[in-house]
Amino acid sequence: MQAPSVGGVMLPRGNGETIRLSRGASLTDFAEKINANPASLVAVMMNLGEMVTATQSVSDETLQLLADEMNYTVQVVSPEEEDRELLESFDLEFGEDEGDEGDLVVRPPVVTVMGHVDHGKTRLLDAIRKTNVIAGEAGGITQHIGAYQVTTEVNEEDRKITFIDTPGHEAFTAMRARGAKSTDIAILVVAANDGVMPQTVEALNHAKAADVPIVVAVNKIDVEGADPTKVRGQLTEYGLVAEEYGGDTMFVDISAKQGLHIDSLLEAVILTADASLDLRANPTQDAQGISIESRLDRGRGAVATVLVQRGTLRVGDTMVVGDAYGRVRAMLDDNGNNVAEAGPSTPVQVLGLTNVPGAGDNFIVVDEDRTARQIAEKRAARERNAAFAKRTRRVSLEDLDKVLKAGEVQQLNLIIKGDASGSVEALESSLLQLDVGEEVDIRVLHRGVGAVTESDIDLAMGSDAIVIGFNVRAAGRAAQMAEREGVDVRYYSVIYQAIEEIEAALKGMLKPEYEEVELGTAEIREVFRSSKLGNIAGVLIRSGEVRRNTKARLIRDGKVIAENLNIEGLRRFKDDVTEIREGFEGGINLGNFNDIKVDDVIATYEMREKPRV
Ligand code: GDP
């Protein structure tokens, strides 16, 4: 066989050597490995019938095709493997305790509460927390940070347990899907009046797949018709046999509502941990762990709750969490108190990160700021590449059905932005579970916390993705850009609604009725307090025009703070007016709504009937 030649130039043909490329690599990356000119590889691909540019990320198949043609063996390296290598290149390793047996000390179990909807997961998490409010403790006000720790007495010894307090297996699965092992023990909540339900089975399957021991909380025993024995019988079919029947699963009958037997449940968790797990960690090394939940806070910047898995995290440490990094400026525990350090199995809220990490991202403390930054930047670049590698054609939800029928897309690309990493992960995993037949795949190219940005729109344009904003809006010029480029951006505040619409679109049943048209935006420059009218916003109209008696929403830091407001009063100087145009100043009164601040944006809109396509 002849070596491929382009324009008479011989290409460096291989002898079957293996080259390693990361997922989403470009022809330029390939060329670098074999000392070739990228342009010549573009030409080779063209001969093979594929048009790709030199710097564009390409799919695994394209890399494979090119390698075959050039007589190389290509090994596409997975993101996990790559990350391991990245850390290795800085002499770091995630996931193993340093030192030997003697360095390990017992750590508290980390528990996730799972079970069927309405069986009482949330109520139980509340009840557990309440039994543990230490009387008279300073602060005393509990804070939701995504996890909390309680103390319980077992065999006259105080033992701690850490609870992840986002109930449900969505969070659990989302984290596990990303390779993060966050949970040691699962509490499976089953309502005694309802018995085993579909999500009960789903939850227990998830726990089993993750090799996590289960403690069963038979809840709602206060309700008439409660039948805890029946629950035990039902679960036997799924391999969970109660201890009293000779099995090895602990069942505890509780009432989350009345706070009954919560102590016994906590004891069962400790006993199960002692019997089947060896939970120890080295508290003296640099801290490592995972992020559980994070968000962007107006005053404090990125706020991330992390769970320390080994080592001790201290204020002043430099950490890298996924593609975020920074020096720990302050740490808060689940009571909102400042803490200076956090050991294994302790959840803490960390301030000082550059941006918001995803749920399930691992964190690692490093010696130098520079190392943290480099690791974070490499990860961010890899994410971007991987996302771009999945490009296809541009679509909107309305015409999805048509392009599907025409065979133009096999895949619906989504970009999900939301107000908290938990909700983003939950939405993502629910969408990925949609069963939409064989013709089409749903793919999430990018997800993140915060407003929909221009770079999201960029990515959507490049890959024909639909952007979903969950409790967030487009920031800055992103909205205009989306409009101009025809990128479909959808806003939701209820997960179910998002899922229903996407599902309907995939089935070709989406009925567009009304669409929202933005009329204008006003930036609040000053807040005037009037005893008669409440708070009045002194504004500058940033775009379009603001009209009286139109609908409005209030946006703070790209997040929707309030919906369905009304522009009740509109003034220029002392006069009531019906509209104010871009570039002018004026006063807006939002009726009874008074929670306004300087720098908030009031966006007005109206609903227009949308022509059917
Ligand atoms: P989740 O969907 O599993 O998080 O369920 P929730 O914790 O939201 O509980 C669902 C409903 O059951 C709520 O109305 C709770 O007040 C109620 N509930 C939870 N635990 C108990 C219980 O032990 N007894 C009774 N009677 N009601 C309960």
Q: How far is the CA of 120 from the centre of ligand 1 (A)?
A: 4
Decide: helix, strand or coil at residue 459: helix
State if residue 473 touches ligand 1 by the CB under 6 angstroms criterion: no
| Mean pLDDT score of the chain | 85
Atom of ligand 1 nearest to the CA of 116: 3
Instruction: Read off the pLDDT of each residue in 399-424 and give the average, rounded to a whole number.
Output: 73
| 583, pLDDT greater than 50 | yes
| 406, pLDDT greater than 60 | no
Strand pairing partners for 523? 540, 601
The sheet carrying 185-191 orders its strands as 147-154, 157-164, 110-115, 185-191, 214-219, 251-253
Q: How far is the CA of 430 from the centre of ligand 1 (A)?
A: 22
State if residue 169 touches ligand 1 by the CB under 6 angstroms criterion: no
State if residue 120 touches ligand 1 by the CB under 6 angstroms criterion: yes
Q: How far is the CA of 44 from the centre of ligand 1 (A)?
A: 63
DSSP 122-157: HHHHHHHHHHTPPTT-SS-----SSEEEEEEEETTE
Q: What's residue 439's pLDDT?
A: 59
Nearest CA to ligand 1 atom 18: 120
Q: What's residue 230's pLDDT?
A: 96
Atom of ligand 1 nearest to the CA of 223: 26
Which residues make Cβ contacts (< 8 Å) with residue 183, sequence separation at least 6?
Answer: 110, 111, 112, 164, 172, 210, 212
Q: What's residue 158's pLDDT?
A: 93
| 391, pLDDT greater than 60 | no
Strand pairing partners for 19? 74
| 479, pLDDT greater than 90 | no
Q: How far is the CA of 118 from the centre of ligand 1 (A)?
A: 6
Q: How far is the CA of 597 from the centre of ligand 1 (A)?
A: 37
Instruction: Read off the pLDDT of each residue in 450-469 and give the average, rounded to a whole number.
Output: 83
State if residue 256 touches ligand 1 by the CB under 6 angstroms criterion: yes
Atom of ligand 1 nearest to the CA of 258: 23
Domain architecture of the chain: domains with CATH: 5-77 (no CATH), 108-279 (3.40.50.300), 288-385 (2.40.30.10), 408-509 (3.40.50.10050), 513-610 (2.40.30.10)
Maximum C-alpha span of the chain: 89
Token pair 């908290």 in the structure block, residue: 420
The answer to whether 139 touches 337, Cβ cutoff 8 Å, is yes
Residue 123 sits at the vertex; the CA angle it makes with 272 and 357, to the nearest 5 degrees, is 80
| 394, pLDDT greater than 50 | no
Instruction: Read off the pLDDT of each residue in 190-218 and give the average, rounded to a whole number.
Output: 90
Token pair 């670049």 in the structure block, residue: 381
State if residue 327 touches ligand 1 by the CB under 6 angstroms criterion: no
| 25, pLDDT greater than 50 | yes
State if residue 216 touches ligand 1 by the CB under 6 angstroms criterion: no
State if residue 121 touches ligand 1 by the CB under 6 angstroms criterion: yes
Q: What's residue 208's pLDDT?
A: 84
Q: Which of 112, 113, 118 to mutate to test the pocket of ligand 1 (most atoms within 8 A of CB)?
A: 118
Which residues make Cβ contacts (< 8 Å) with residue 523, sequence separation at least 6?
Answer: 539, 540, 542, 599, 600, 601
Q: What's residue 169's pLDDT?
A: 60
Q: What is the sign of the dihedral through the CA atoms of 302, 308, 310 and 314? A: positive
Tens-digit pLDDT profile for residues 74-128: 998 877 888 899 999 999 999 889 999 999 999 999 999 999 889 999 999 999 9
Nearest CA to ligand 1 atom 25: 220
State if residue 118 touches ligand 1 by the CB under 6 angstroms criterion: yes
59 or 246: whose pLDDT is higher? 246
Q: What's residue 613's pLDDT?
A: 41
Atom of ligand 1 nearest to the CA of 115: 3
Which residues make Cβ contacts (< 8 Å) with residue 537, sequence separation at least 6?
Answer: 522, 524, 526, 527, 528, 587, 588, 589, 590, 596, 600, 602
Q: How far is the CA of 243 from the centre of ligand 1 (A)?
A: 26
State if residue 223 touches ligand 1 by the CB under 6 angstroms criterion: yes
Q: How far is the CA of 193 from the centre of ligand 1 (A)?
A: 11
Strand pairing partners for 303? 295, 351
Q: How far is the CA of 257 from the centre of ligand 1 (A)?
A: 7
Strand pairing partners for 215? 187
The answer to whether 168 touches 114, Cβ cutoff 8 Å, is yes
Strand pairing category for 147-154 and 280-281: unpaired
Q: What's residue 79's pLDDT?
A: 76
Q: How far is the CA of 521 from the centre of ligand 1 (A)?
A: 42
Report the helix count and the strand count for the chain, using DSSP H and E.
15, 34
Token pair 């997960």 in the structure block, residue: 495
Instruction: Read off the pLDDT of each residue in 410-415 and give the average, rounded to a whole number.
Output: 80
- State the number of CA atoms in the 13 A half-sphere of 30 facing the CB: 40
Token pair 């006063």 in the structure block, residue: 587
State if residue 232 touches ligand 1 by the CB under 6 angstroms criterion: no
Instruction: Read off the pLDDT of each residue in 371-376 and give the average, rounded to a whole number.
Output: 95
State if residue 123 touches ligand 1 by the CB under 6 angstroms criterion: yes
Tokens linked to 329: 């400026």
Strand pairing partners for 320? 325, 364
Q: 263-273: b or e for each residue (b if 16 or more CB lie within 10 Å)?
A: bebbbbbbbbb
Q: How far is the CA of 154 from the centre of ligand 1 (A)?
A: 27
Q: What's residue 416's pLDDT?
A: 92
Tokens linked to 308: 């320390």
DSSP 505-559: HHTT-----EEEEEEEEEEEEEEEEETTTEEEEEEEEEEEEEETT-EEEEEETTE
Q: How far is the CA of 147 from the centre of ligand 1 (A)?
A: 20
Among the listed residues 354, 312, 303, 311, the one whose alpha carbon sits nearest the alpha carbon of residue 330: 303
Q: How far is the CA of 511 from the centre of ligand 1 (A)?
A: 36
Among the listed residues 554, 552, 527, the one whose alpha carbon sits nearest the alpha carbon of residue 538: 527
Q: What are phi and psi of 503, to 5 degrees?
A: -65, -45
Using only the alpha carbons of the chain, give its radius of gyration: 28
| 393, pLDDT greater than 50 | no
Nearest CA to ligand 1 atom 2: 118
Strand pairing category for 324-332 and 318-321: antiparallel
Nearest CA to ligand 1 atom 17: 120
Alpha-carbon gap, residue 602 to 297, rounded angstroms: 19
The answer to whether 320 touches 314, Cβ cutoff 8 Å, is no
State if residue 261 touches ligand 1 by the CB under 6 angstroms criterion: no
Nearest CA to ligand 1 atom 28: 257
Alpha-carbon gap, residue 35 to 603, rounded angstroms: 54
Q: Which of 112, 114, 123, 222 to mutate to test the pocket of ligand 1 (most atoms within 8 A of CB)?
A: 123
Count CB atoms within 10 A of the CB of residue 435. 7
State if residue 122 touches ligand 1 by the CB under 6 angstroms criterion: yes
Token pair 């079957």 in the structure block, residue: 16
State if residue 381 touches ligand 1 by the CB under 6 angstroms criterion: no
The answer to whether 192 touches 219, Cβ cutoff 8 Å, is yes
Q: How far is the CA of 88 from the centre of ligand 1 (A)?
A: 47
Tens-digit pLDDT profile for residues 522-571: 999 999 888 888 899 999 999 989 998 899 999 998 888 898 899 999 99
Q: What's residue 408's pLDDT?
A: 53
Tens-digit pLDDT profile for residues 293-336: 888 887 888 999 999 999 999 999 999 999 999 999 999 999 88
Strand pairing partners for 280? 106
State if residue 220 touches ligand 1 by the CB under 6 angstroms criterion: yes
State if residue 183 touches ligand 1 by the CB under 6 angstroms criterion: no
Q: What's residue 478's pLDDT?
A: 84
Q: How far is the CA of 474 from the centre of ligand 1 (A)?
A: 36
State if residue 167 touches ligand 1 by the CB under 6 angstroms criterion: yes
Alpha-carbon gap, residue 137 to 135, rounded angstroms: 6
Count CB atoms within 10 A of the CB of residue 102. 7
DSSP 248-312: SB-EEE-BTTTTBTHHHHHHHHHHHHHHH---EE-SSSB-EEEEEEEEEETTTEEEEEEEEEESB
Q: How far is the CA of 308 from the centre of ligand 1 (A)?
A: 30
Tokens linked to 430: 């629910």
Nearest CA to ligand 1 atom 11: 118
Q: What are phi and psi of 206, to 5 degrees?
A: -60, -45
Q: What's residue 612's pLDDT?
A: 41
Q: What are phi and psi of 127, to 5 degrees?
A: -65, -40
Tens-digit pLDDT profile for residues 164-187: 987 666 566 666 655 567 899 999
